[in-house]
């Protein structure tokens, strides 16, 4: 092989390895999170690692921003760790009830290839009006453990009196219990809404395997915000309490 061609291949391999090695990660709420970058779904969207950071208070910021001539979005996820049955709690700072019609905030577990394909094994807390087609901003969903079974969804209205809210789901093999509450809390006061999903065929309809946690802030079908404004949401804390 020609020496200059060999050198080019070596340099390209080194650059590619360096890019992989430099994937951004952040430490938040006692866990390590990888920050997504590149193109892809949902949306599709342009994921930019500059839209994610942790501030001096230890709060995670997710931003939708106009960068380099396009709208860019944010996502973090656990690259290795998978959490199982237990309580998943997110303390949010911001006003998801006032989001633009095309904004989506997702707080969720998500499948892996060895567990099941897309549209299975997912438990969602989402805030979205799906382009304006739905009046309620609050959304809960449970995707089945197997293919061929439809997912289950519950929408609810939310109206916040301030910028603090707490959102959680308790996941067991037989049911998923969702709650939305005013303020930052570990209790059950000032509840906005709740939903108990406990189907008789729970082995099929409820994920049964540990899954990594994701948090993302994105644009429905990749559409620009209708108001043309950038947006930001803050996650003050993520907490996982394993089931007994």
Q: Report the helix count and the strand count for the chain, using DSSP H and E.
A: 2, 18
- pLDDT at residue 22, as a whole number: 67
Q: What is the pTM of this model?
A: 0.91
Question: What is the band of 4 on the pLDDT scale with cuts at 50, 70, 90?
Answer: very low
Q: Is residue 49 part of a domain?
A: yes
Q: Is residue 122 part of a domain?
A: yes
| Mean pLDDT taken over the chain | 93
Q: Is residue 4 part of a domain?
A: no
Q: Give the C-alpha separation, 168 to 176, whole Å.
A: 10
Question: What is the band of 23 on the pLDDT scale with cuts at 50, 70, 90?
Answer: confident
Per-residue pLDDT for 7 more than 50?
Answer: no
Q: Give the C-alpha separation, 129 to 135, whole Å.
A: 6
Tokens representing 182 are: 């005013």
Q: Is residue 8 part of a domain?
A: no
Section 94-106 average pLDDT: 98
Section 105-109 average pLDDT: 98
H/E element, 166: strand 164-171
Q: Is residue 96 part of a domain?
A: yes
Containing domain of residue 47, as a range? 24-242
Q: Give the C-alpha separation, 221 to 190, whole Å.
A: 34
121: alpha, beta or left, given left = phi > 0 and alpha = psi -120 to 50?
A: left
- 57-96 pLDDT, tens digit per residue, is 999 999 999 999 999 999 999 999 999 999 999 999 999 9
Per-residue pLDDT for 18 more than 70?
Answer: no
Per-residue pLDDT for 8 more than 60?
Answer: no
Q: The tokens 């930052």 sit on which residue?
A: 184
- 157-194 pLDDT, tens digit per residue, is 999 999 999 999 999 999 999 999 999 999 999 999 99
Q: Is residue 72 part of a domain?
A: yes
Q: Give the C-alpha separation, 136 to 143, whole Å.
A: 20
Section 11-35 average pLDDT: 71
Instruction: Report the CATH number that the domain containing residue 174 is assigned in CATH.
Output: 2.60.120.200
Q: Is residue 5 part of a domain?
A: no
Domain tally for the chain? 1
Q: Is residue 169 part of a domain?
A: yes
């Amino acid at each position: 092989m020609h020496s200059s061609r060999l050198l080019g291949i070596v340099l390209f391999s080194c650059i590619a390895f360096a890019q992989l090695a430099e994937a951004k990660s952040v430490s938040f709420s006692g866990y390590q999170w990888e920050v997504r970058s590149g193109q892809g779904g949902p949306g599709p969207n342009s994921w930019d690692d500059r839209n994610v950071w942790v501030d001096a208070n230890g709060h995670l910021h997710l931003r939708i921003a106009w960068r380099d001539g396009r709208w860019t979005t944010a996502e973090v996820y656990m690259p290795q760790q998978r959490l199982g049955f237990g309580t998943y709690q997110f303390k949010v700072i911001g006003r998801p009830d006032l989001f633009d019609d095309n904004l989506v905030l997702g707080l969720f577990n998500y499948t892996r290839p060895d567990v099941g394909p897309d549209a299975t094994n997912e438990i969602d807390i989402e805030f979205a009006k799906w382009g304006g087609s739905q009046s309620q901003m609050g959304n809960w969903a449970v995707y089945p453990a197997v293919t061929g079974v439809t997912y289950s969804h519950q929408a609810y209205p939310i109206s916040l009196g301030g910028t603090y809210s707490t959102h959680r789901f308790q996941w067991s093999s037989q049911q998923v219990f969702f709650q939305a509450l005013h303020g930052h809390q570990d209790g059950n006061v000032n509840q906005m809404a709740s939903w108990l999903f406990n189907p008789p065929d729970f082995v099929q309809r409820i994920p049964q395997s540990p899954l990594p946690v994701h948090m993302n802030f994105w644009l429905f079908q990749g559409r620009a915000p209708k108001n043309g404004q950038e947006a930001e949401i803050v996650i003050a804390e993520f907490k996982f309490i394993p089931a007994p």
